[in-house]
Amino acid sequence: MFPLEQGSGALNVFEEMESEVRSYIRSFPAVFRKASGYRLWDTDGKEYIDFFSGAGALNYGHNPTDMKRKLIDYLQEDGISHSLDMATEAKERFLQRFRDAILKPRGLSYKVMFPGPTGTNAVESALKLARKATGRQTVIGFTNAFHGMTLGALAVTGNKFKRKGAGVPLHHAVTFPYDGYMGPNVNTLTYIENFLKDSGSGISLPAAVILETLQGEGGLNAASEPWLRGLAELCRRYGMLLIVDDIQMGCGRTGPFFSFEPFGLKPDIVCLSKSIGGYGLPMALTLFKPELDLWSPGEHNGTFRGNNLAFVTAAEALRHWENGEFEADISRKAKQLRNALNIIASRYPALQAEVRGRGLMQGIAFEAGIAERISQEAFKRGLVIETSGTDSEVIKAMPPLIIDSEGLSEGLRILDDSVKAAAGSMEAAVIQ
């Protein structure tokens, strides 16, 4: 396969040929060969437990058997691979199952749009549609939000470094403080409303508000139920559309299929990608209320909207949602994860360790510098786990949703050891 020498030469071709822009390869410096379920193997045969899940694109694990079988059969039968937005049997099956397993049982009547196959494509189409529907230009985004790397999505993204990469001014967006950003005693909705109602605030009425219910890249900040409900109400009062970016938190990451379900929200527009394809195959959806379907044919377009291989695995993935068992199982494992993280965090009060998140998206925030070291220590010990937050201050446990309780325990044991190795010495230094 790869003509590899052991050890130091392993990443030569990547260093020689690939742009400096590469990033995850630096956190996880191995050449990977195989993966199954929640495990990965590199070309040296070393095994890793996956607490990263392709940044949320592998909620159903690596190479899930049922989806793989469907995909192989489809390829064997010369099923359509690429189809732009023409009708295909694979897409038909996906749409039917999405209607029957996801939308109908939740009382949702969204129209389904297939933008380009990545998350940022879904966000761009959502922003365009919101502006078209309201005739307004500004969109409210939040501190520490992450919505993707194209210009529209960057404009509503918080991270300074990523924004700067745009190289041009990022217009028609305004950033407001997310829930909790101004401390526990400030309701940031009141702050936002002051701007909206005051004709002297310098802010014209926005077309929409875009948010994640739990900020995956921005440090696992969670919005509370009252805040979310209040935000939906604010949107209604000021004629702004509510866009939930469920690209990372959807598809069961926090438990239910949509992250906003427990809060009784019915967003006007929903963005999905990452795990919607089921197998790690590129696919994205923009969902919106039928009355917002104001597009003219072809007004938003894209060559790879018809990734039929993803439709095949996506339809199969939705079988997990035909009854409540999968969600209940995620919730059990989420408790196991919470308990373990609480125990780990309780050992490091001097480092202000704080457990954050929900579902199978939880982590521990530390003082700056520690989480990155934990990730490195974990990788050495055979656990793939990344950090979150502007200063990479949160170690973020994000195992595939299909992980069994033994796998979860095994990963958590490695995490515990890694925290001891990385934080223990720091803490000793702090206490002295």
Ligand X SMILES: *Cc1c(COP(=O)(O)O)cnc(C)c1O
Q: How do 47-50 and 383-384 pair as beta strands?
A: parallel
Question: 3-class SS at 300?
Answer: coil
Q: What is the DSSP letter of 49?
A: E
Smallest gap from Cβ 319 to ligand X, in A, equals: 24
Q: Which residue is nearest to ligand X (CB)?
A: 119
Instruction: Tell the smallest beta-carbon distance from residue 419 to ligand X (Å).
Output: 25
Across 122-240, where does the E strand assignment appear? 139-142, 173-176, 208-211, 214-215, 221-222
Nearer to ligand X, 362 or 418 (CB): 362
Rg of the chain taking only CA atoms, in angstroms: 22
Cα 402 to Cα 120, 284, 381: the distances in Å are: 26, 21, 22
- Cα gap 198→200, rounded to integer Å: 5
Nearer to ligand X, 42 or 124 (CB): 124
Which CB sits closer to ligand X, 273 or 387?
Answer: 273
Spatial distance between the Cα atoms of 335 and 360, rounded to a whole number of angstroms: 9
Q: Tell me which residue has tokens 């190289």.
A: 167
Q: Cβ closer to ligand X: 126 or 355? A: 126
Pick between residue 217 and residue 268 the one whose CB is nearest to ligand X. Answer: 217
Q: Which is nearer to ligand X, 6 or 26 (CB)?
A: 26
**Nearest Cα to 312, choosing from 284, 277, 285?**
277
Paired residues of 356 in beta bridges = 363
Distance (Å, rounded) from C-alpha 432 to C-alpha 424? 12
Task: Give the type of residue at 146.
Answer: F
Min. distance of Cβ 423 from ligand X in angstroms?
27
Give one DSSP letter per residue of 357-405, joined into a string.
EETTEEEEE-STTHHHHHHHHHHHTTEE-EEESTTS-EEEE---TT--H
| Ramachandran class of 78: left when φ > 0, alpha when ψ lies in -120 to 50, beta otherwise | left
Smallest gap from Cβ 44 to ligand X, in A, equals 29
Quote the CA–CA distance of 174 and 283 in Å, as a whole number: 28
Rounded CA gap, 300 and 127, in Å? 12
Least CB distance to ligand X at residue 306 (A) = 17
Residue 145: CB minimum distance to ligand X, A = 8
In the complex with ligand X, the residue whose CB is nearer, 27 or 43, is 27
Whole-number minimum distance, CB 338 to ligand X, in Å?
22
For the CB of residue 148, give the shortest distance to ligand X in the complex, in Å.
4
Query: In angstroms, what is the minimal distance from the CB of 280 to ligand X?
Result: 12
Q: In this complex, which beta carbon is closest to ligand X, that of residue 212 or of residue 372?
A: 212
Query: Contact residues for ligand X (CB under 6 A)?
Result: 118-120, 123, 146-148, 212, 216-217, 245, 247-248, 273-274
Query: In terms of CB distance, is 320 or 396 closer to ligand X?
Result: 396
Residues 88, 311 contacting (CB under 8 angstroms): yes
State in angstroms the smallest separation of the CB of 56 from ligand X: 6
Going through 163-281 in order, the beta strands assigned E by DSSP cover 173-176, 208-211, 214-215, 221-222, 241-245, 269-272
For ligand X, the closer of residues 275 and 418 by Cβ is 275
